[in-house]
């Protein structure tokens, strides 16, 4: 394990443009369940997963009822507003401050990377602490709408003050398109990076799980003189992909990642920060 931590720190320090991709696994040590881990929300309640697959359809069909159910029903992930970042989130924020990490792209809707101080953050599946207009994609904070008042006045769903469109939570539901600004910025980062640190995701949900594969396809070309004097072009992988996860994923099995460090992100990431600091001292 020590060697793997040292290798990851060396790769990180040696990279020019490293980014991190994160999933629900990085927030379990903050008390928020993941989805497909041994005690994941879907693992424990497959019916809840089936309902989640129908959520967006229901929103499109009847946004008023969708909001009423949302405001009166139980929250799947618990009280996200009270959740606090853990040492994994803080370690990524510190790597950004140290200049070793350029961006975090997260699938999590819990806003914990933002709370931990990460500046360059892409919330690929949105944030449950924000709202979004489904017509013009404008985002809003929760306090910009008094939902209880709207419900009492029978005026749900909330409407966009800019274009009049219907507003939903910013969290992207199954079957809902990824907002184009988010999809575009994430692709740019996957194209630019020379190192990808993938933390706490089962990497089975698309299109997010495509990002490492897009990066893996990239090659760098170097010219090389041959003994006959002719130059030859060599193509090499342009990106190093490291997984930090409690268990192997399809990225491990399909060798999309270069290596997996198996363990808890809240324990592994601070050790990588420490080692990166030690070798650059
Ligand atoms: N440290 C490292 N890995 C962990 C930890 C931890 N502390 N806790 C859990 N894991 C691992 C689990 O073993 C699992 O492999 O993290 C992974 C979490 O995978 P999922 O539960 O599938 O979560 P994620 O990949 O983020 O899901 C993607 O699916 O349900 C949708 O929209 C939801 O954004 C979510 C998307
Ligand atoms: Zn709008």
Among protein residues, the one with the nearest Cα to ligand 1's atom 17 is 201
113 lines ligand 1 (CB under 6 A): no
Give the mean pLDDT of 268-280.
98
pLDDT category, 215, cuts 50, 70, 90?
very high
Is pLDDT at 225 greater than 80 in this prediction?
A: no
pLDDT value, residue 138: 95
pLDDT value, residue 171: 95
Give the mean pLDDT of 232-244.
85
Give the mean pLDDT of 126-146.
94
Among protein residues, the one with the nearest Cα to ligand 1's atom 13 is 37
Quick one: which of 210, 265, 198, 185 has its CA closest to 19? Answer: 198
Contact 11, 195 (CB under 8 A): yes
Q: Rounded to the nearest 5°, which phi and psi values hold at 220?
A: -105, 145
Q: Which of 80-94, 152-166, 207-221 has the lowest mean pLDDT?
A: 207-221
Tokens of 30: 């903050």
Q: Rounded to the nearest 5°, which phi and psi values hold at 41?
A: -60, -45
Biggest distance spanned by C-alpha atoms of the chain? 83
Q: Which of 27-31, 124-128, 199-203, 224-228 has the lowest mean pLDDT?
A: 224-228
pLDDT value, residue 230: 63
Q: Which of 105-114, 172-181, 227-236 has the lowest mean pLDDT?
A: 227-236
Spot the catalytic one: 113, 125, 159, 184: 125
Looking at the DSSP assignment, which residues form a beta bridge with residue 240? 195
60 lines ligand 1 (CB under 6 A): no
Quick one: which of 127, 149, 152 has its CA closest to 140? Answer: 127
76 lines ligand 1 (CB under 6 A): no
Over pLDDT 90: what percentage of the chain?
A: 87
Between the CA of 138 and the centroid of ligand 2 the distance, in Å, is: 6
pLDDT value, residue 11: 98
Beta strands in the chain (DSSP E): 18-22, 103-106, 121-123, 130-133, 139-141, 167-169, 195-199, 219-225, 231-237, 240-245, 259-262
Is pLDDT at 254 greater than 70 in this prediction?
A: yes
| Sign of torsion over alpha carbons 269, 271, 277, 279 | negative
Tell me what the pLDDT averaged over the chain comes to: 94
pLDDT value, residue 229: 72
The ligand that comes nearest to the alpha carbon of residue 251 is 1
- What is the tens place of the pLDDT at every residue in 66-110? 999 999 988 777 788 899 999 999 999 999 999 999 999 999 999
Residue 203 — left, alpha, or beta (φ > 0 → left; ψ -120 to 50 → alpha)? Answer: left
Does this model's pTM top 0.85? My answer is: yes
Q: Which long-range contacts (CB under 8 A, 24 or more apart) does 1-4 make?
A: 1/261, 1/263, 4/259, 4/261
Output the CA–CA distances (angstroms, integers) from residue 261 to 3, 20, 74, 153, 254, in the order listed. Answer: 10, 15, 35, 53, 16
Contact 20, 211 (CB under 8 A): no
Give the mean pLDDT of 131-139.
95
Q: Among the atoms of ligand 1, which is closest to the Cα of residue 49?
A: 30
Distance CA 268, CA 272 (A): 6
Over pLDDT 70: what percentage of the chain?
A: 99
Give the mean pLDDT of 244-251.
98
The ligand that comes nearest to the alpha carbon of residue 159 is 2
The yes-or-no answer on residue 125 being catalytic is yes
Tokens of 168: 């939903």
Distance CA 63, CA 89 (A): 34
CA angle 140–141–144, rounded 5-degree value:
85
pLDDT value, residue 247: 97
pLDDT value, residue 223: 76
The ligand that comes nearest to the alpha carbon of residue 158 is 2
Task: Return the higher-pLDDT residue of 235 and 122.
Answer: 122
**Helices 87-97, 265-280: inter-axial angle, 10-degree rounding:** 30
């Amino acid at each position: 394990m020590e060697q793997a931590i040292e290798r990851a720190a060396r790769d990180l320090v040696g990279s020019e443009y490293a980014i991190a991709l994160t999933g629900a696994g990085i927030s379990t040590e903050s008390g928020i369940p993941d989805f497909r881990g041994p005690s994941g929300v879907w693992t424990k309640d497959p019916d809840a997963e089936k309902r989640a697959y129908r959520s967006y359809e229901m929103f499109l069909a009847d946004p008023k009822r969708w909001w009423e159910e949302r405001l009166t029903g139980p929250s799947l992930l618990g009280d996200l507003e009270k959740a606090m970042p853990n040492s994994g989130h803080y370690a990524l924020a510190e790597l950004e401050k140290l200049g070793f990490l350029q961006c975090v792209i997260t699938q999590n809707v819990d806003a914990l990377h933002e709370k931990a101080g990460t500046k360059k953050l892409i919330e690929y599946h949105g944030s449950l602490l924000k709202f979004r207009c489904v017509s013009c994609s404008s985002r809003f904070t929760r306090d910009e709408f008094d939902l209880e008042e709207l419900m009492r006045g029978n005026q749900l769903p909330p409407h966009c003050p800019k274009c009049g469109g219907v507003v939903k939570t910013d969290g992207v539901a199954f079957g809902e398109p990824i907002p184009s600004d988010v999809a575009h910025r994430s692709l740019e980062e996957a194209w630019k990076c020379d190192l990808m640190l993938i933390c706490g995701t089962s990497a089975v949900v698309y299109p997010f799980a495509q990002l490492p594969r897009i990066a893996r396809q990239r090659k760098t070309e170097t010219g090389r003189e041959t003994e006959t004097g002719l130059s030859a072009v060599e193509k090499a992988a342009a990106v190093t992909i490291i997984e930090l996860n409690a268990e192997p994923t399809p990225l491990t099995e399909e060798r999309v990642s270069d290596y997996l460090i198996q363990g808890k992100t809240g324990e592994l990431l601070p050790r990588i920060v420490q080692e990166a600091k030690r070798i650059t001292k």
